[in-house]
């Protein structure tokens, strides 16, 4: 009887310890969460006629702060977006706590990709940052 009780208590303790290690929804950065939601809605309505600088190297490099800064400057200065666009506003609020250069260095001959690809990288990096900190 004591062994059964000990096994039950041990199992309950392990369940609680696993729950403590799991990421909590409250830990999500609210601006990144909004960006993820907005991109899902926005990508359905935009077509591939807008092209911007490719940011895949930064996205594949672990989504550093420089990625979010670069995307912010690209979108803020794009004719289809503005500093008043919801995605741009949320990015601006997020990067306020980051270490961003005033204006990221532009490539001399940048590779151009559809803006929908940039938004997908932004979504991926936002999800990555929210789950891995």
54 close to 119: Cβ distance less than 8 angstroms: no
- Report d(CA 50, CA 97) in Å as an integer: 29
Structure confidence by residue, pLDDT tens digits, 48-88: 678 899 999 999 988 998 999 999 999 998 888 877 889 99
pLDDT of residue 20: 42
pLDDT of residue 117: 92
Q: What is the pTM of this model?
A: 0.70
The DSSP 8-state label assigned to residue 49 in this structure reads T
- Report d(CA 133, CA 18) in Å as an integer: 18
pLDDT of residue 37: 82
């Amino acid at each position: 009887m004591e062994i059964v009780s000990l096994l039950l208590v041990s199992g309950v303790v392990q369940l609680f310890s696993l729950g403590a290690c799991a990421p909590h929804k409250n830990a999500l950065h609210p601006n990144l969460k909004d960006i993820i939601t907005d991109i899902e809605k926005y990508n359905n309505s935009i077509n591939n006629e807008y092209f911007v600088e490719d940011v895949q190297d930064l996205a594949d490099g672990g989504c550093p702060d420089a990625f979010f800064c670069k995307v912010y400057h690209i979108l803020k200065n794009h004719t289809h977006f503005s500093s008043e666009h919801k995605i741009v506003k949320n990015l601006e609020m997020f990067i306020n706590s980051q270490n961003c250069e005033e204006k990221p260095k532009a490539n001399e001959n940048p590779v151009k990709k559809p803006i929908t690809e940039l938004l997908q990288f932004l979504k991926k990096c936002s999800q990555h940052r929210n789950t891995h900190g």
